[in-house]
Amino acid sequence: MDEALAARDAALAVVSAQLTAHRAQLEGERRRIEQLELACDGLCERVVTRERELAELRAELGRLREEGERGMRALAGLASELKDVRRQARGQATRIRLRALREAADLGGRMTELARRPESRERLLDSLQTAIARIGAEEEADEISTSNGRALRSPDELFDGMVEIEVGPLADFSQLVGFEDAAGGIVATSEISVKRFARGRATLEVKLIEPVELLRELEERSPFEFRVRDRRRDRLVLDVDEAEAA
């Protein structure tokens, strides 16, 4: 009987030791699971952060691409204007050379006449002064009448930097979108945003990267007719024809 009890106690002790070992193993695995869960949470946060950063980078790349395209359009416009300037300069230089040759030929003839008749000296000097004055006046007129292949514009007609444009009344949002597209299509426009749109009148903010005849550009591109109610250096107020707004 004692031997049986002793065997039972020994078996129980072995089972208890095994249970203790299993309990310690389970506790270790539980701690390991907690560590893995913490690591997983950290990785999830990093993934979300990286996705947010990637979205911001994609948006920034889109903006840079758009700015690059606008810059290329601006450069193309400048190249066209430079081409006009070169053509204008060549034409003006040719006119000046031809005028100088004609004046030189006339002067040679007059000098020959002067050598034969000294009494015509005063008349020749008067003619020379008149010719010089005429050439200077013609060159000054050429410079005033043209610039970059077009008529010079008054500084009041040129706009640069940030300009606020109020326009209305507009019949609906589609007219606003059409006018915004027209303003955005100007080569000098780098940024455009709608600040307000209420009671049929819209206020847009346009950023220009170079001086431009803004009113002329808007008249050519706008989907509707308008008249200028107020014009300042950094603000325009445009009224749309009531018939078109309807």
Q: What is the mean pLDDT of the chain?
A: 79
Q: Is the dihedral of CA 184, 245, 235, 151 positive or negative?
A: positive
71-85, 103-117, 207-221: the lowest-pLDDT one: 103-117
pTM score, whole prediction = 0.39
Token pair of 36 as six digits: 């893995």
Please list the residues that pair with 147 across neighbouring strands.
150
pLDDT digits (tens, 9 = 90+) for 150-204: 444 455 578 999 999 999 999 888 899 999 999 999 999 999 999 999 888 999 9
206-215 residues labelled b (16+ CB within 10 A) or e (exposed)? bebbeebbbb
Give the pLDDT confidence of 108-158 residue by residue, as tens digits: 666 666 556 555 556 656 666 666 666 555 555 554 444 444 444 455 578
Write down the pLDDT at residue 211.
93
